[in-house]
């Protein structure tokens, strides 16, 4: 059993999370292949992050957190993912929920301060079902006395083995308004909630992205955080698009960076003139991924949520994901036959980066949105 890494920080100072990521990184990396081979959740890595305050990093200082900036956490997630893809991606799912809640509290006067205070004081881990729900949502909300009974099965719930709260939604067939999506949180260890052993995937095997089954879980009226028409773009999703995807895709850029570094190290051991332009192509692909990520980060810092910001952020999400996948593919070309051996980790990184394909808006949906926006068409079709 490994000893907990010693990190040089004190409770009195504001944590330097990027430095902490580098100090904790080798311990994360040492377990990455183990969890990949066994399809097991990166529980020890999450525990390290929890012990060092990462899960409350994005909570504003006024509400008991560290007040880390959005761009700072994008850099942290990229760095974590160079050590362990699954840790970086699973942690990004918590981060984007906190980032959106903090932004809505600070800029939109949303009553999310109670949740943020709980995250800070209780060191909570949040999980999301947003990747499987998006605009349509899934599951059924039945009106009962004092609230709703929720029956649903939520996929891609990263971090669920150790999560505390699931941020999710379900559809209520409102007699007046029609199909209405309700947003709420449920305790992952609460009555009627079951985590199913379903995460047996091509890559990102350590994220614990299992299905979560909700069987008539009671959600009181007071716990409904928002309502919206089913299948329609809503202001909440413009905020999510602006803030969440730089955090999520920072992890994939970290995966690409790790593959790039490993391939170049292998190339230096057997350098030939034919390898030099292959490395040049590798560098170009990686730079494309970084540029697209940097633009998403800049939008989150400078823009306001809205259809145009979403359009640019989602286009950058597509470009970043495609470039990250090309980077890792090109890393295999540079490394040659050595890339086929698991000991060099490129095989695992190649599988892990494929996850960049599957977050909303997927490439075809993003192209439809971008085309509609440019042509002045209704975004809801």
Spans of all domains in the chain: 17-124, 128-229, 235-375
Q: For residue 173, what is the DSSP state? A: E
Share of the chain above pLDDT 90, in %: 94
- Considering only the top CATH level, what class is 128-229? mainly beta
Q: What is the pLDDT of residue 14?
A: 85
Q: What is the pLDDT of residue 306?
A: 98
Each residue's pLDDT tens digit, 62-94: 999 999 999 999 999 999 999 999 999 999 999
User: Distance between CA atoms of 101 and 169, rounded to whole angstroms?
Assistant: 16
Residue 53 tokens read as 């305050």
Residue-averaged pLDDT of the chain = 95
Share of the chain above pLDDT 70, in %: 97
* Res. 203: pLDDT tops 80: yes
For residue 307, the tally of other CB atoms under 10 A from its CB is 14
Q: What is the pLDDT of residue 13?
A: 80
Q: What is the pLDDT of residue 168?
A: 97
User: Distance between CA atoms of 291 and 324, rounded to whole angstroms?
Assistant: 11
* Domain 235-375 architecture: Up-down Bundle (1.20)
User: Distance between CA atoms of 300 and 313, rounded to whole angstroms?
Assistant: 9
Each residue's pLDDT tens digit, 241-280: 999 999 999 999 999 999 999 999 999 999 999 999 999 9
User: Distance between CA atoms of 222 and 216, rounded to whole angstroms?
Assistant: 17
Q: What is the pLDDT of residue 12?
A: 52
Q: What is the pLDDT of residue 315?
A: 98
Residue 222: burial class (beta carbons within 10 Å; 0-12, 13-18, 19+): exposed
User: Distance between CA atoms of 22 and 261, rounded to whole angstroms?
Assistant: 16
Please say whether the dihedral angle defined by the alpha carbons of residues 243, 246, 252 and 255, taken in this order, is positive or negative: negative
Q: What is the pLDDT of residue 352?
A: 98
Rounded to an integer, the average pLDDT of 278-294 is 98
Query: Which residue's structure tokens are 């990520």?
Result: 293
User: Distance between CA atoms of 43 and 46, rounded to whole angstroms?
Assistant: 5
Q: Of 81, 90, 15, which Cα lies nearest the Cα of 259?
A: 81
Q: What is the pLDDT of residue 1?
A: 39
End-to-end CA distance of the chain: 55
pLDDT interval class at 137 (50, 70, 90):
very high
* Res. 11: pLDDT tops 90: no
Each residue's pLDDT tens digit, 99-136: 999 999 999 999 999 999 999 999 999 999 977 799 99
For residue 93, the tally of other CB atoms under 10 A from its CB is 28
DSSP secondary structure of 202-246:
SS-TTS--EEEEEEEEEEEGGG--EEEETTS--HHHHHHHHHHHH
* Res. 2: pLDDT tops 60: no
The CATH number of 17-124 is 1.10.540.10
Rounded to an integer, the average pLDDT of 355-365 is 96
Q: What is the pLDDT of residue 132?
A: 77
Report whether 139 contacts 214 (CB < 8 A).
yes
* H or E stretch at 129: none
């Amino acid at each position: 059993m490994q000893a907990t890494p010693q990190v040089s920080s004190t409770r009195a100072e504001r944590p330097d999370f990027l430095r902490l990521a580098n100090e904790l990184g080798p311990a994360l990396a040492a377990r990455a292949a183990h969890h990949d081979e066994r399809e097991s959740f990166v529980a020890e890595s999450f525990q390290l992050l929890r012990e060092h305050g990462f899960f409350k990093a994005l909570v504003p200082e006024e509400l008991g957190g560290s007040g880390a900036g959005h761009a700072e956490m994008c850099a942290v997630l990229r760095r974590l993912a160079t050590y362990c893809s699954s840790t970086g991606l699973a942690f990004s799912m918590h981060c984007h929920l906190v980032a959106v809640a903090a932004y809505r509290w600070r800029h939109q006067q949303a009553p999310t301060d109670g949740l943020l205070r709980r995250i800070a004081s209780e060191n909570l881990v949040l999980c999301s079902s947003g990747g499987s729900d998006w605009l349509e949502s899934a599951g059924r909300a039945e009106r009962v006395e004092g609230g709703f009974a929720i029956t649903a099965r939520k996929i891609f719930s990263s971090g669920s083995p150790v999560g505390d709260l699931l941020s999710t939604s379900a559809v209520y067939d409102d007699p007046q308004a029609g199909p209405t999506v309700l947003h709420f949180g449920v305790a992952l260890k609460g009555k009627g909630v079951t985590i199913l052993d379903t995460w047996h995937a091509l890559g990102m095997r350590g994220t614990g992205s299992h299905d979560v089954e909700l069987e008539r879980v009671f959600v009181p009226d007071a716990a409904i955080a928002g309502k919206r028409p089913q299948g329609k773009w809503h202001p909440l999703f413009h905020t999510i698009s602006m803030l969440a995807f730089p955090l999520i895709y920072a992890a994939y850029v970290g995966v690409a960076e790790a593959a790039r570094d490993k391939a170049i190290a292998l190339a230096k051991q057997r350098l030939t003139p034919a390898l030099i332009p292959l490395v040049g192509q590798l560098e170009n692909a990686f730079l494309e991924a970084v540029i697209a990520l940097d633009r998403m980060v800049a939008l989150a810092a400078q823009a306001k949520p809205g259809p145009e910001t979403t359009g640019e952020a989602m286009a950058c999400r597509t470009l970043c994901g495609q470039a990250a996948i090309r980077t890792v593919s090109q890393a295999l070309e540079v490394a040659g036959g050595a890339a086929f051996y698991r000991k060099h980790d490129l095989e695992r990184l190649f599988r892990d980066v494929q996850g960049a394909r599957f977050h909303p808006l997927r490439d075809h949906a993003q192209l439809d949105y971008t085309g509609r926006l440019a042509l002045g068409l209704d975004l809801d079709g």
